[in-house]
Amino acid sequence: MNKREFDYILQNGESYLVEFKERVNSSLVREMTAFANASGGRIFLGVTDSGKAVGIEITNKLRSRIQDMANNCQPPVTVVLKKYHNILIIDIPEGKDKPFQCSEGFFIRMGSNAQKMDRDRIVEFLQAEGKVRFEE
């Protein structure tokens, strides 16, 4: 990633494929599962919701914590950690074995937000993914 691309992302703000997090918190795992259940996306750690790059201390402990969060999902969410200056970018590809679930439930990316799926939405999701046929 170069400065021009990074500035463009900050300027355009959060979207279907981009999420900003100032720091690691409990909502991070929801965002990871939502991206894996949708088309994938990137989480920028060290960036405020308004798109201001404040940075974060990138340590092995932080990287390990994020990897543990991803591995504790069912099935585990694939994450690729990249660094741009003092911003940690969590790249989440679209999941191959949907649906993904975290301890708080099933989430999907809707616009610029992670939305929890209720029972009916999960059924629709499984049908759309070809995991369950309507006749069954």
pLDDT band at 131 (very low <50, low <70, confident <90, very high): confident
Give pLDDT tens digits for 38-78.
999 999 999 999 999 999 999 999 999 999 999 999 999 99
Give pLDDT tens digits for 74-93.
999 999 999 999 999 999 99
Residue 48 burial by Cβ neighbours in a 10 Å radius (0-12, 13-18, 19+): middle
CATH superfamily label, 3-128: Schlafen, AAA domain (3.30.950.30)
- pLDDT at residue 132 in the model: 66
Residue 135 burial by Cβ neighbours in a 10 Å radius (0-12, 13-18, 19+): exposed
